[in-house]
Structure 1
Amino acid sequence: MDAGTAAAAPPALSNSASAKQQQQQKPLQISFPLPRAPNARVNLHLTVHSKSLLLFVTTTSPEHDSGVTAPVGSFVYAMPNLANPTAQPLSTPLYPQTPTLDLATRLAKILARRTGRPTYVGNSTSFASAGAGGNVEEEMEGLARVVEVVVEEVKKADQAAAAAGV
């Protein structure tokens, strides 16, 4: 291969820039109790990229999960409407599973709008072990808490990236 046909190598990142980039993309694993059911927990696996979010959400409870594997839930992509930030974000289910699709879509759209980033959400939550058996109010409280935690973590990651100059 002569010099004219060789592909240019990408510029090497300095060790500190590479470490900062990897640190920003390190997945966070967060767990917190459901608002009305302290024995049931919401588990988040969040990866904050500079231009996107990747979130997996599931629930666990000692009463309902003993020896039972959780089914794979829905996987949804949502992107903010950059032309009109107040408009509804666009979304598409990449892997739809009816019991979890609605919540995954809502969560992806809310996070895309609040963070201004394209968002991937995997959702296999079940609120059946919540205090009232997973009624709409409990689902919405759980959803609100997930949004609150994720937005807070995104702000922390953005502040850390800004302080590091990435």
Structure 2
Amino acid sequence: MVDPVSGGPGVGPFDSRKKFRELIEPPGSSISDDTLKNVPFFPSMGAHAVKKYFTPKWEEFTSYRELEDVLEAGLTATVRTTSLQLKVLGKFQTRMQEHQQALEGLQPAVDSMRMAYEQLQANLRESDSNVLQLTKQLDNANAVRKVAAEALEATNIEKRCLQSEYESREMEAQLL
């Protein structure tokens, strides 16, 4: 018989019969090694596999009680496996509920962050508007400054002209 886990003969730490016996043998009962010597499956296959495997060969058992013990052991293994699966599923569901509650707990913070982001966006739009207004005011002020500078230049030219005229008249007056 080849062990399905190790690929070798049915001996060693991966011996399926040994594992089968450890997991399903009820306390106080004894399943003979002869009974288990041809069991090519693990207990996770359940009682239906035990029944399917042993039903055509029931005559190999020395008593009906031995067959009943093997079937009961397979059923016990199925119950244990199912119970373990239910426990794992229960823990998984509990974890999922915890995660769901954590996500629900984070929702107010997410909403608050969303509101803060929207407020920041509104402030940025208002700032952009203010910058545009200030830029227009600065352009207007630069235009006024330029006009004032041109007016000042014109005034300076006029002043120089008047100064020159005054100096010329003064020279004329001195010559006369």
Greater per-residue helix proportion: 2
TM-score (norm 2): 0.24
Q: Which has the larger radius of gyration?
A: 2
TM-score (norm 1): 0.25
Greater per-residue strand proportion: 1
Q: Select the structure with the greater relative contact order (CA < 8 A; seq sep ≥ 6).
A: 1
